[in-house]
Chain A
């Protein structure tokens, strides 16, 4: 670890230890990371489709269906995205149905 990095870790830890007003900044930072990551995965799923998404994340069909349902319900998609996602869901459901029949 570089000494500059060490100084940063130490300075921040000192601030936490001393109980100064770090929590609001910290929570905002963590929330931003979580929200950004989820937005990225939603975008990736919408743009690249469920197969690429599965390859990237290892997610199951059921999870993808949940994610799509949740995303659409929150109206975070454009109409074009929603149509594209609809196709993905339909394909995913169809594939599942076919697998179950076999």
Chain B
């Protein structure tokens, strides 16, 4: 049985961060972190998290809670209302105090794919992590849409590792949705 000591630095950072966010709103982890948590042999600088467009009051509580343990990477010192405004259009990166890597790139849901991921988020046993991921089919479709060598390798890895669990119809649906929305 795995214990918390078995977690690598990325996993520990992510798990701790997610626990705080979950107290305030739902979240979903997207992009490359699923592949890395599923054994893909590569590192990353950032983990991508989507949260719903929460009201300022909720964000204020979340942000305050996060700042006990983390710093904002490039907006440190900016008034909270401005950070909230910034989030309407862009991503905000949180880091452990004094560390540059890893960082959590948080963004509000901005399109149908993001909303879908929040609705269908799930925990994935093989990762051994108590956090919510986007559906595997969406992670693969997204990676194949992005198309860089790293993305294609991530998708290939996920296809292989989860070949018994992948729903082909869902994969097609996500591929269409991503092509339309992104």
Contacts and interface: CB of A to CB of B under 8 A. Distances in A.
Contacts of B149: 1
Nearest to B35: A13
Interface SS majority for chain A: helix
B99 A62 contact: no
Interface string B62-87: 00000000011111110000000000
A75 interface: no
Nearest to B5: A27
B111 interface: no
A59 B156 contact: no
Contact of A67 (B7, B8, B39, B99): B99
Interface of A: 1, 5-6, 9-10, 12-17, 22-24, 26-31, 33-35, 37-38, 41, 57-63, 66-71, 73
B101 to A, nearest CB: 5
B98 A30 contact: no
- Please give me the 3 A-B residue pairs with the lowest Cβ-Cβ distance, nearest first: A70-B98, A62-B76, A33-B43
Contact of A59 (B41, B73, B153, B163): B73
B95 A63 contact: yes
A90 B40 CA distance: 42
A16 B8 contact: no
A58 B149 CA distance: 26
B101 A67 contact: no
A22 B72 CA distance: 34
A13 B157 contact: yes
Contacts of A28: 8
B113 to A, nearest CB: 25
A60 B43 contact: no
